[in-house]
Structure 1
Amino acid sequence: MSNELEAAAHCPVCQRSARKGRISLGFLWRRLVEEVVGDRRSLRVTFVDLMRRPGEVVQAYLGGEELRYFSPLKYFLMVLALSLLMPVPRVLDGMLANIVVQTGRFDLAQAESFIQDWNALLYLPMLLVLGLVTRYFYRAQGYNYAEHLVIAAYGWAQLSLLTVLGFLIANMTRDLPGIRMGSVLLFALTPVYWFWFCHRVFGQRGLPGLLRAFATLPCAVLLFLLLAAMVMAVIRQA
Structure 2
Amino acid sequence: MKTFRHLLSKPDTVIQYYVSGTRKKYMNPISYFAIAITLSGLLFFVLRNIYEIDLTQSSFSDNQTTNLDFVYDYQGPISYLFMPVYALMTWLLFIDKRKFNYTEHLVTNAYITAQTSYVQVLICLPLFGFFDIRYDVFNGILLIAVVIYQFFILGKMHQTGFFSTFFRGFVYLILFMIITIMLGVLIAAIALVSGYMSLEDFIAK
Q: TM-score if structure 1 supplies the norm length?
A: 0.61
Determine which structure has more spread, i.e. the larger CA radius of gyration: 1
Letter in 2 for 1:208: S
Q: How far is 1:228 from its partner? A: 5.5
State, as a whole percentage, how many aligned pairs show the same letter: 25
1:69 pairs with one of 16, 26, 40: 26
Partner of 1:3: none
Does the 8 Å CA contact 1:129/1:224 hold for their aligned counterparts? no
1:214 aligns with 2:161: no
Does the 8 Å CA contact 1:126/1:224 hold for their aligned counterparts? no
Distance 1:94 1:202, change over 3 A: farther
Which stretches in structure 1 are left out of the alignment for 5+ residues? Answer: 1-43, 96-106, 176-182
CA distance in 1, matches of 2:180, 2:85: 7
Superposition pairs of residues 144-159 of structure 1, within 5 angstroms: 144-159=101-116
Does the 8 Å CA contact 1:129/1:223 hold for their aligned counterparts? no
1:108 pairs with one of 61, 66, 73: 66
Partner of 1:168: 125
Does the 8 Å CA contact 1:134/1:216 hold for their aligned counterparts? yes
1:135 aligns with 2:102: no
Letter in 1 for 2:119: L
Q: How far is 1:135 from its partner? A: 0.9
CA distance in 2, matches of 1:125, 1:220: 14
CA distance in 1, matches of 2:105, 2:117: 18
Partner of 2:41: 84
Partner of 1:59: 16
Letter in 1 for 2:66: L
Q: How far is 1:232 from its partner? A: 5.8
Partner of 1:46: 3
Which stretches in structure 2 are left out of the alignment for 5+ residues? Answer: 48-54, 58-64, 133-137, 195-205
CA distance in 2, matches of 1:202, 1:77: 26
Partner of 1:37: none
Partner of 2:81: 125
Partner of 1:198: 154
Does the 8 Å CA contact 2:148/2:169 hold for their aligned counterparts? no
CA distance in 2, matches of 1:84, 1:74: 15
CA distance in 1, matches of 2:24, 2:79: 28
Q: Deviations over 1:10-51 (max 9, x none)?
A: xxxxxxxxxxxxxxxxxxxxxxxxxxxxxxxxxx11111111
CA distance in 2, matches of 1:230, 1:115: 11
Superposition CA RMSD, Å: 3.3
Does the 8 Å CA contact 2:19/2:104 hold for their aligned counterparts? yes
Structure 1 SS opposite 2:44: coil
Instruction: Give aligned pairs, total.
Output: 173
Does the 8 Å CA contact 1:58/1:150 hold for their aligned counterparts? yes
Distance 1:233 1:174, change over 3 A: closer
Does the 8 Å CA contact 1:53/1:200 hold for their aligned counterparts? no
Q: TM-score if structure 2 supplies the norm length?
A: 0.69
CA distance in 2, matches of 1:67, 1:235: 44
Structure 2 SS opposite 1:65: coil
CA distance in 2, matches of 1:165, 1:65: 29
Q: Using CA pairs below 8 Å that are at least 6 residues apart, which structure has the higher relative contact order?
A: 2
